[in-house]
Each structure stands twice: as structure tokens, then as C-alpha cells.
Structure 1
């Protein structure tokens, strides 16, 4: 084989010697022969290793495992097996089928809700002990539905009720000082008020003049003059502790909710089909005495949301009314009824930007000039949320959950195997019985572990594996394992096959 590498060896030699005689040197040929022989051995060893690995992989790849039934006479293991099986069956029957009703097909609710409010209040805060404004006149008035519901009526899944406000009447377009609580509107000289620039977070555009403030505010004496709607809003609530419209807690709202479960072609309303007009005129929702009445008092809603109406009404807030439709359609449709849940959605403990408010205005003309009344409205935003799931018997979910329950029974086998093979004292005996390697192709005969019962003189007995080898239909016992550790010498003759 070294002759195959001779030309290459000679070609390398040409780099060092100018004559070809070096290639015919006997020592060079001998060295080349030895190196080639070593290389051949290495290649042979490498090939043998590859073949060995391939053989091992082939043996494992083409192995076949089949279950083997081994009956173990052990009360401990039998008790564990039955307890686990009973627990699995109880879980499937009690929790999966009875409590969770997983034999049903499910569908999520779809629906909408509208709200209709009613209530009238009259306010007069002239003699209020916590009055904060110089002119309480805009707040002394009658309030009806069109005044405190903003925007008026027919919102879908939400409604807002104004409970407190800052009113700035008779505003018109003109020139006036910026509010002193606007940081970027404060000044000391005209140079601090460049003309034509808008004030950040302010109310208008600078004129270039620095003028006295419209009202005292801390140590601020001057602000920039601006082009805006004048006079500028004084952002101070009329009362220090109490909301203007505290009477709003007695206002009522009727919630009309229509829902459907499309998968079951089922639809319903939260107003009972048998209810009469007289019932709706006189009922009021109560979670215990009248849980199906669709008319709610605003104060009661806030209280059921774990807050007080006076506290929430002062700065405003957000309340969610959750209408829950969880129905079992295997029963009569009259048993599909709504349940109401109330909770506050915003952070009532927020230190900055707490509550809920916005501004709106009403425009009018006087003496040919356009005027407006600006209102900063504080109040409660009620969001109506519709949730729920309906279920009805269906064959496929039933079969899937029952089959899953049967599959869980295999946990009993796994747990018992762990106990038998790793925890019991006689685990080696059980391993001998459970695992068996059979190779009838390469062996003249193959081992078949046999079980035989050995009895002591005192009447106790145990099962131990024997080794039996089969040859052409003939068989014989070649050994008895572990039995000698169990039997005494006087009981050897009492073995039972």
C-alpha cells in the first residue's frame, strides 16, 4: 500500500533535493512503509470503533419493548394503588363532571347595555360653612337630567353623572392676565412675556405685557397678559369638603341589558319577561331582597363598590358595574339570571391627578357678542361590563374528559412502580421479575423468569423468581435466587410449584 503514496513522497522530496535519486533511497522507502502501516492500523481501529458504535445504535434502535404483567402480593402496594385510583376517579366525577361541568360545550356572552337616569336636585351654597368662592350664584340653581348627565343620555355601556363642578360664567374673547397657578405664565417684567408665544399648559397667547394677577395666589404677584377666553378660570371648587351635588346619591338609573349566546341560539334581557310596568315603577335593586330589579340608586352602587358617595363625588371616580351571565342551559331558561357586581376601577388613593373630571362649555350670544359658560365637571363615570359563559351538554367534551380521566389512572401504576422498585426492601426481587431481556436469535436458549412460591414452616410464604432455560422443548431449573435468604433449612422441602 505504501507504493500508492510514493509519488507524493517523492514530490515533497524535490523541494529539498535537486536530484531524483533521493526518491530511490532505500531508507526513505522503509520509513514510508512503516508510516503507511501505522496509518492503516489507525484507520482500522477507527473503522472498528465506528462499527461498534453503529452496532450499539442499531441494537437500541431495533429493540422492542412490550408490557409484562407481574402480580405482586403486597398489601402496602395494593393499598397505594387503590387509593390513587379512587382519588383519580373522585377527581373526574366530582370536580370535572359535577362541579366544573366539563361535559358541556361552552360559549361566551355577547350583549350591550343602556342606562336611563332620573332625578332632580336644588342646590344653594350661599351659607355653606366651607365656601371657597366669592360668588356662589352660578351654583344656586335647580339641576335636572339635562344638567348633570354629560353627554345627555343613550350612551352605550357607560354613563357619567356630574357631582361637583367649577363654573366660569360670561366668558368672552379678549385680553386678560394668565392664571397665577400656571407656572410658565408667571413673570416679573415684560421681557418674561415674549409677544406671540403660547404659554405651555396655559390658556392663551402672550401679548408681551406683564400685569398683576387676577386673584392672589401664594407669593405670585404678576402674570403674563394673554389673548384668551376671559376671565380665566379660577380652578377652585366652590366648597372645601362637600360636593355641590351631594343629592345625586338619590338619583336612580335603570340599566337595560340584552345578551345572547350565539352557539346555542339563546337570547335574553335582564328585565324579567313576566315583569309589569307597575313592578318597574316601584322596585329598587337590593342584593338580598330584590336582586333582579334593574333600577339602582347611585348612592347604593358606590357603597356596594366599597366607597362612600361623598368621598367619590367630591373629586370624581370610575365605577364598574359588572353584569354576570353564567348559565346552565341544560336547565330551564328562567333559571338563566344575571348577577351584579360593583367595584371602583380607578385608584382612590392616588396623590396626583386623582379622580375624574373634564371641561365642557355652553355658548350663547349677548348684545351681538359670543359668550360661553365654561364648566369643569367632576363626577362619577359608570362603566357597564357584561361577562359570562353558558354551557350545554355535548357528547364530544364528555368523551374527551372521561378519556382523560382514564388516562390519569396510569398515575397509580407509576407511583406503585416507584414504591416497588426503589423503596421496598425486596426491590431487587421485584426488579428481577419486572425486567427481562430476550434475544432468541443469538442464544441457543433464552431465559424465562419463573415465579415459585416458597413456604416456611410457620405457614408464611413468599414469591421468588427462578431461572429456567429452554432447549428444544426441554426445560430445566438452573438456580434459585433469593429463596435461601427467606427459607430456613427445614423448609426447603416444603416448596410449592
Structure 2
């Protein structure tokens, strides 16, 4: 991830402006992608820093070998990460189905981004790229937030409305869903991205940085956007045995339904005797009619 379309204008949530959207502003620093992402690598998740409180700490003239040794905070400051919405996230993933003998990566499949209502988000502006052949999928942080139904990070937080989402942090699920049953051809595969905000949530990560010895450190209290990635999907193919079992089971259900209807009609309903007459009617004796025709006198 790296910042795109960097603006030289100070964001509205940064000092010297004192307040934005009802929340106090903080000093802003403009970190690059290496500093914003923490930890640098994580399986099936991504954390993007929005606010950092750094605390310089030192031990109280004691050794860490002593159980009574404590840490004192000598300095503390809090900042926002400026222009965070312009950062981009590269999404690369693989679908593998051994039973179907298929395996595809994101560059080989068509894909789409869904909004919080499950509808496709069309006309994405560069640098956003989704589902294009032989191209990496790229989304800006701003587009990710919109897909999750979040208009701004300066809205009230999920767990504490007195703080903004930027200040408190938030949790998102990213569902990557694969399918080959969206058309009549099961040879066509695709994927969808869907971001979901976890209600009543916030997120922070504590990062300790030791300076010139273990008695001096800086604590980064990071708040931000935590994204958990879940790969799922539904794949299907034609199977004659399954079709046959389903067909026979359907016939059995129809038979049972017919028996139940007959019982209700002929034994329970008030006009069951009338229904009995209408259901079972005497037909003409065709053998007798044939005999009468055979022996009909001829003038």
C-alpha cells in the first residue's frame, strides 16, 4: 500500500484547525506505507494506523530483574495520520478447489466490489482496479470505507460516540466469495469483495520500541482500521446421481402430499360427503353398452 494523489492542503481534522465534525483535532504526520501498516506482515488480516499516541518511558532507576521495578512516562504526544484515505491496498488471492481440479488467482478471474447493500459498485475511479484480466486488484482506503457504508472516519465511533472512528479505530470483515453458479455455465468463475463493519467495535495495537537499552522505550499506541479477510464461496457442477435422488425424493413428496390432502378432504372437512361423491364418480359400463350395440336389431 502506498499513498496516491497526495494533497499539499492540510486535512480538516489536523491542527491548526481546532475542531472538525464535532471532534477535537490533533497534530498530523504524513507517514509512508511502511510506518502506517503494523505489523508489516500478517496472515489473513491488515491493520492500517489512523491515530498514534507515543509515550517515552524509562525505568525508575531500577533493574528489570527486580519485581518492584516500574516504568515512568517522561513524554507523551498524540497524532493523526494525514491523507490516509489516499493510501491504496493491493489485494491478491487464490481460489483452489481440488475436487473440481481448478485453481485460479485474482488476475485470472473477473470480480466485482459490493457495497453495504450487496449491490455492485460501478464506475470506480483510478487508481481503483477490480477484476481486470492480468491486473492486480487495487482499492483506496476511501473506497474500502465507502464499500463498508462508512462515509467518513470523522463520524462517531462504534464503541464510544464521544470519539471519532479515526481516533478510536474500527473492525472490518472482508469477505472474498467465489462462485460458478451465477450463470447456467459452471465453467465460468468469478469473485466478489464485500466489506462489513463490525458493530460496537474499536481496535488498537501496542507497539514497543526499545531505544539504546531495555530500560528506555517508546510505546506506540496505535488505533486504526483492522481488516479481517475471510475467503468463502459456493461452487457447483452437474451430478447425475444427485439429480436422480432429488427427482425420486420429489416424487415421494408429491405422493405424500396427495395422501394428506385426500385425508383432509374426505375425512375432516364438513362437506366431506359431497367431496367423496365428486372425487369418486360411477362411470358408464362400457361392456354393457358394447353388448347392446352388438345385438341391436336391424330394420
Using structure 1 for the length normalisation, give the TM-score: 0.43
Counterpart of 2:70 in structure 1 is: 228
CA distance in 2 between counterparts of 1:404 and 1:245 reads 61
Would you say the 8 A contact 2:109–2:191 is kept in 1?
Answer: no
C-alpha distance 412-233 of structure 1, shift in aligned 2 (>3 A): farther
C-alpha distance 370-395 of structure 1, shift in aligned 2 (>3 A): same
CA distance in 2 between counterparts of 1:372 and 1:339 reads 44
CA distance in 2 between counterparts of 1:126 and 1:421 reads 83
**Matches for 1:56-455 after TM superposition, within 5 Å:** 117-119=1-3, 127-130=16-19, 141-153=29-41, 155-169=42-56, 171-174=57-60, 205=68, 227-231=69-73, 237=78, 244-272=80-108, 287-289=121-123, 291-292=130-131, 294-307=137-150, 308-311=152-155, 312-328=165-181, 331=185, 333=187, 335-348=188-201, 355-365=202-212, 370-410=215-255, 411-423=257-269, 425=271, 427=273, 430=276
Shift of 1:150: 0.6
CA distance in 2 between counterparts of 1:373 and 1:429 reads 88
Counterpart of 1:73 in structure 2 is: none
Shift of 1:452: 6.4
Shift of 1:158: 0.4
Shift of 1:273: 6.5
Would you say the 8 A contact 1:364–1:371 is kept in 2?
Answer: yes
Would you say the 8 A contact 1:164–1:245 is kept in 2?
Answer: yes
Gaps of 5+ in 2: 111-119, 125-129, 156-164, 285-299
How far does the alpha carbon of each residue in 1:346-373 deviate from its partner, in whole angstroms, 9 at most, with x for none?
415xxxxxx11121122222xx885322
Shift of 1:392: 0.3
C-alpha distance 359-233 of structure 1, shift in aligned 2 (>3 A): farther
Does the residue aligned with 2:108 lie in a helix, a strand or coil? coil
Which is helix-richer, 1 or 2?
A: 1
CA distance in 1 between counterparts of 2:271 and 2:186 reads 60
Larger Cα-atom Rg: 1
Higher relative contact order (CA 8 A, sep 6+): 2
Shift of 1:418: 2.2
How far does the alpha carbon of each residue in 1:419-447 deviate from its partner, in whole angstroms, 9 at most, with x for none?
1233364639959x99xxxxxxxxxxxxx
Would you say the 8 A contact 2:55–2:219 is kept in 1?
Answer: yes
C-alpha distance 142-409 of structure 1, shift in aligned 2 (>3 A): closer
Shift of 1:270: 1.8
Shift of 1:156: 1.8
Does the residue aligned with 1:406 lie in a helix, a strand or coil? helix
CA distance in 2 between counterparts of 1:390 and 1:453 reads 54
C-alpha distance 417-141 of structure 1, shift in aligned 2 (>3 A): closer
Gaps of 5+ in 1: 1-116, 177-195, 199-204, 206-226, 239-243, 275-285, 349-354, 435-450, 455-497
CA distance in 1 between counterparts of 2:199 and 2:179 reads 26
What is the aligned-residue RMSD (CA, Å)?
A: 3.8
Does the residue aligned with 2:18 lie in a helix, a strand or coil? coil
Deviating beyond 3 angstroms after TM superposition, the runs of 4 or more aligned structure 1 residues are: 120-126, 130-133, 139-142, 428-431, 451-454
Using structure 2 for the length normalisation, give the TM-score: 0.68
